[in-house]
Amino acid sequence: MAERSPGVAVVNEEKSEACVQSSMCQDIERVLISAEEIQDRVRDLGRQIDERYAGEDLLLIAVLKGSIVFIADLMRAISIPHEVDFLATSSYGAFSTSSGVVRILKDLNEPIGGRHALLVEDIIDSGHTLAYLTRLFSARNPASLEIVTLLDKPSRREVDIDLFWTGFSIPNEFVIGYGLDFNQKYRNLPYIGVLKPEVYQADSE
């Protein structure tokens, strides 16, 4: 059985040539994690998940909408049989920081009792959403319940979260791209970028 992911790939904070997508790039302060770094890490996570769940009834649970790109790549990096289900929550609204109040907008279609459930998240900061989901799904009696997140902001943590796998540990900055958005935009960028403060500050005024 695989060990918990010791950690965390190093982020690249240098300006990247990846920033070529139309006018959106004028809103990007810098590229934090390149598309190539993301794909290398996702493949590594896929190999670890293969080892951890070999021979088990694995269900990936994608937390929408931010994790859609991550889970699309991750499920293709996993070679063992598995199923996928989707959950939608809300805790941000149109603001740049979490409200701390979690709402379930779409629940799972399938029961998870007796199955090995793996929650797939795009980013964890305060931890309130994941703490709530962990309590919710644990009450449904899965065989196991673990979390894999692409990004983690440990400096923002307000509640304890037991992460099995982390893609990248990042500083407390507003990031977008690779599924992450601001006001539903920027999800299609292939890298993780830092949004210029004036973009989200102007929107909140």
Q: List all residues 6 or more positions away from 103 whose beta carbon is below 8 Å from its beta carbon.
A: 89, 90, 91
Q: Quick one: pLDDT band at residue 100, thresholds 50, 70, 90?
A: low
Sign of the torsion formed by the C-alpha atoms of 181, 146, 1 and 4:
positive
pLDDT of residue 8 exceeding 50: yes
pLDDT of residue 13 exceeding 50: no
Rounded mean pLDDT of 30-36? 96
Please give the single-letter amino acid code of residue 202.
Answer: A
Give 176's Cβ-side CA count (13 Å radius): 23
Percent of the chain predicted with pLDDT > 70: 82
Domain boundaries, the chain: 34-173
pLDDT of residue 14 exceeding 50: no
In this prediction the pTM is 0.84
Q: Under CATH, which number does the domain 34-173 receive?
A: 3.40.50.2020
Q: List all residues 6 or more positions away from 60 whose beta carbon is below 8 Å from its beta carbon.
A: 71, 74, 75, 78, 82, 83, 84, 85, 118, 120
pLDDT of residue 164 exceeding 90: yes
Q: What is the mean pLDDT of the chain?
A: 87
pLDDT of residue 149 exceeding 70: yes
Per the residue annotation, which of 73, 122, 125, 152 is the catalytic one? 125
Concerning whether 125 is annotated as a catalytic residue, the answer is yes
Helix (H, G, I), strand (E, B) or coil at 45: helix
pLDDT of residue 161 exceeding 50: yes
